[in-house]
Amino acid sequence: MTSVSKPLVKVRDLYFSRGDKAIFEGVDLDIYRGWITAIMGPSGTGKTTLLKLIGGQLRPDSGTIEVDGVDVHRLGSGDLYRLRKRMGMLFQSGALLTDISVFDNVAYPLREHTGLPETMIRKLVLLKLEAVGLRGARDLMPGELSGGMARRVALARAMALDPMMIMYDEPFTGQDPISLGVLVKLISSLNDASRLTSIIVSHDVEETAQIADYIYVISRGKVVDQGMPDQMMNSDAPWTRQFMKGLPDGPAAFHYPAPELEKDLMGRS
Amino acid sequence: MLDVLARLGRIGIGILGHIGRGHLLLLSILGGIPLLARRPRLLIAQIYAVGVLSMLIIAVSGTFVGMVLGLQGYYILSQFGAEQTLGVMVAASLVRELGPVVAALLFAGRAGSALTAEIGLMGATEQLSGLEMMAVNPIKRILAPRFLAGVISMPLLAAVFSALGVMGGYFVGVGLLGVDDGAFWSQMQTKIDLHEDVYNGVIKSLVFGFVCTWIALFQGYYATPTSEGVSRATTRTVVHSSLAVLGLDFILTALMFGD
Amino acid sequence: MSHSRSVEVMVGAFMAAGFVALFFLAMQVSNLSTTSTGEGYLVAARFDNIGSLKVRSPVTMAGVRVGRVSGIEYDSETYEAVVNLRIESRFDKIPDDSFAKIFTAGLLGEQYVGLDPGGSEEYLKGGDEISLTQPALVLEEIIGQFLFSKAQEDATDE
């Protein structure tokens, strides 16, 4: 953990809605340089949407998102694309291009953006693949990879241009314990070794708490709690307690809002 | 009453929004075409997928349509003692109408649906988002080469369809039914006009290629990113393209051969 | 590498096949080989009735095509159709007293302009007008006349 400096990403008073459904209603958060910041919350709270807003793929209804001092949504498309070269994003599915091999996938951003000679690209790709332990899998097609391997390849690809930050969208979902361990270790070691800033969006409390430096909990469009992982684990705030400990009932009710059961049973429709 | 009006209004706004998005997408696609001059390899790969892979069905259908025209035309024309004009009938129907139209319908079914499914799946598996986050514009990098490939391939496919159709008609008419060889070609050559028939047919197929590819890419790009959404979008591509081809064919025919 | 090479070859073959087909349509199917471009000279002819003569209909002499109809207008003062004929420039020895008739190719065929040469020493040139014309035969009129005369015959027989 590096010392606290100016935040790399500053989200202020963010409002966003999809159709009539409000996703965010006034979110403020800071992502500090060099830290692994986790954004947690139940499914359907728009955590992935938040990453897309930071990456400039979606526009907020109001509020600002600054990355490295510039307002993402005021940039022209040319500047936005330049900024994106410095951000990596790891999608839940990996989002590898299915019609080209693992090697070509990792080489893709290098070939698109650097104009380096092919021999150089080959070396860079092999180094990136080595870092995620999949140098031997370079000739496989994405369809032949397991989910965990696909995510590791995607991580190598996200790292290819040596970005300043990486955003992880649900990196731990649906992994067996071994891949889980591998991913947890990779994310934390890459962050330290490459002086990255990482944002993890997740609802896997245990794994996330292991590696995160700071945690935000989002629910119903707002940040409901924030703090260091151990503070959060022992928090007395009822909502945080329910989420971190995985209690079935609490402020987030077990029942979907409905009229009282007796009335419902007696009524016609 | 007001509800009905409101619903009508909502449908209207929906359709307008659809059309607007379609045109904006088209503009961005056209903006991506200059890039292809620097990277022709992208285009070649797509002409393979769109054109070469549609070739078989176009060739087979063209030949058979020509053969059927030869057969049916012969029976009708021989009642008037006008078998010699069989070549004209076969060639005129193919070059003016059947070539561009049937080739476009087959193209929508073969290449258009494949394009929609491919793009839709790339959206559903976050590949398009992934490209965007790699600072690669998917409209320029993925859609534009496919669009240009469709516009280039369609007139060529239609020409192959017509040419093989004429050969099929020749085979049946001259080879099997005994129409005079010389009359078949010479009647055809006096009646079929290069400008009026052949050029107009090429223009038609260019328009059809443009519209079919545009519809296919639009449906793929804006498909709901689920397997159900992609399959619906694929169906819509075939239905919308076919209707567009038939409607446009009527309009173009009226404009070209109207006076 | 060999894969992308074979793709290129296939695409090349596809494009070649497409252009061959277009070439075939242009040369073998259509009249590119028999049409001349817009060259030649224009001659006008006035007809009382042109039947279903159309622009681009052929103009023939002794059955050989020497030009095409390039325009059809209506003269509202003389109530006549003015037909512009574009004659190819290599047919430059057509007597200026030639007779222009509208014929029908076969019973149901399309109509065309036939020129019968006259005996003049002067030849037609651009801007001339053919004064001797014979209008198209309209089938209904002929049948009408035939029935009329038949009826008259029957009447006189009785």
Does C81 lie in the same domain as C11?
Answer: no
**Residue C83: inside a domain:** yes
Does C70 lie in the same domain as C13?
Answer: no
Task: Write out the two tokens for A138.
Answer: 């370079």
**Residue C35: inside a domain:** no
Indicate the pairing of strand C111-116 with strand C80-87: unpaired
Are A30 and A232 a contacting pair, CB within 8 Å?
Answer: no
Q: What is the ipTM of this complex?
A: 0.80
Question: Which chains are adjacent to chain A, needing at least 3 Cβ pairs under 8 Å?
Answer: B
Using the Cβ of B130 and the Cβ atoms of chain A, whether some distance falls under 8 Å is answered with yes
Does C61 lie in the same domain as C115?
Answer: yes
Does C60 lie in the same domain as C19?
Answer: no
**Residue C70: inside a domain:** yes
What does the pLDDT read at residue A8? 87
> With 90 as the cut, is the pLDDT of residue A183 above it?
no
Chain C residues with CB under 8 Å of B160 CB are 17-18, 21
What does the pLDDT read at residue A269? 56
Does C19 lie in the same domain as C51?
Answer: no
Measure in Å the smallest separation between the Cα of B132 and chain A Cα atoms: 8
Tens digits of residue pLDDT in B17-62: 888 999 999 998 888 888 888 888 888 989 999 999 999 999 999 9
**Residue C125: inside a domain:** yes
Burial readout B56-76 (b: 16 or more C-beta within 10 A, e: otherwise): ebbbebbbebbbebbbebbee
**Residue C36: inside a domain:** no
Which of A20, A50, A98 would best serve as a mutation to test chain B binding (most B beta carbons within 10 A)? A98
Measure in Å the smallest separation between the Cα of C61 and chain B Cα atoms: 16
**Residue C151: inside a domain:** no
- Helix axes of B144-170 and B40-47: crossing angle, nearest 10 degrees: 40
Single-letter amino acid code for the residue at B57: I
Residue bearing the bigger pLDDT, A242 or C19: C19
> With 70 as the cut, is the pLDDT of residue B127 above it?
yes
Does C14 lie in the same domain as C51?
Answer: no
What does the pLDDT read at residue B259? 55
What does the pLDDT read at residue C38? 60
What does the pLDDT read at residue A5? 64
What does the pLDDT read at residue C2? 57
Sign of CA pseudo-dihedral B113, B115, B120, B122: positive
Does C50 lie in the same domain as C100?
Answer: yes
> How many CA atoms, within 13 angstroms, populate the side-chain half-sphere of residue B35?
22
Q: Which domain, by its residues, includes C58?
A: 41-144
What does the pLDDT read at residue C86? 87
**Residue C115: inside a domain:** yes
Which of B48, B119, B134 would best serve as a mutation to test chain A binding (most A beta carbons within 10 A)? B134
Rounded CA separation A205/A252 (Å): 16
**In C, residues 116-155, which contact B (CB 8 Å cutoff)?**
none
**Residue C45: inside a domain:** yes
Rounded CA separation A37/C119 (Å): 105
Q: In this predicted structure, which of A238-247, B241-250, C126-135 has the lowest mean pLDDT?
A: A238-247
Q: Do A95 and B136 touch (CB under 8 A)?
A: no
Does C134 lie in the same domain as C61?
Answer: yes
The predicted model scores a pTM of: 0.78
Q: In this predicted structure, which of A149-153, C80-84, C124-128 has the lowest mean pLDDT?
A: C124-128
Q: Provide CB contacts within 8 A for A42, sequence distance 6+.
A: A203, A219, A243, A252
Q: What is the mean pLDDT of chain C?
A: 82
Of B48, B198, B201, the CB nearest to C7: B48
Are B23 and B141 a contacting pair, CB within 8 Å?
Answer: no
Are A232 and A212 a contacting pair, CB within 8 Å?
Answer: no
Q: Do B160 and C4 touch (CB under 8 A)?
A: no
Does C112 lie in the same domain as C66?
Answer: yes
Of A77, A93, A108, the CB nearest to B134: A108
Q: How far apart are the first and last CA of chain A?
A: 58
At least 3 CB pairs under 8 A between chains B and C: yes
At least 3 CB pairs under 8 A between chains A and B: yes
3-state secondary structure chain A: CCCCCCEEEEEEEEEEEECCEEEEEEEEEEEECCCEEEEECCCCCCHHHHHHHHCCCCCCCEEEEEECCEEHHHCCHHHHHHHHCCEEEECCCCCCCCCCCHHHHHHHHHHHHCCCCHHHHHHHHHHHHHHCCCHHHCCCCHHHCCHHHHHHHHHHHHHCCCCCEEEEECCCCCCCHHHHHHHHHHHHHHHHHCCCEEEEEECCHHHHHHHCCEEEEEECCEEEEEECHHHHHCCCCHHHHHHHHCCCCCCCCCCCCCCCHHHHHHCCC
Does C45 lie in the same domain as C26?
Answer: no
The DSSP H or E segment spanning C83 is strand C80-87
User: In total, how many domains does chain C have?
Assistant: 2
Are C95 and C69 a contacting pair, CB within 8 Å?
Answer: no
What does the pLDDT read at residue A3? 46
Does C46 lie in the same domain as C26?
Answer: no
Tens digits of residue pLDDT in B179-197: 888 888 888 887 787 877 8
> With 70 as the cut, is the pLDDT of residue C31 above it?
no
Q: Do C19 and B52 touch (CB under 8 A)?
A: no
What does the pLDDT read at residue C1? 45
Of B48, B166, B192, the CB nearest to C11: B48
Does C136 lie in the same domain as C61?
Answer: yes
Tens digits of residue pLDDT in A90-115: 888 778 888 888 999 999 888 888 88
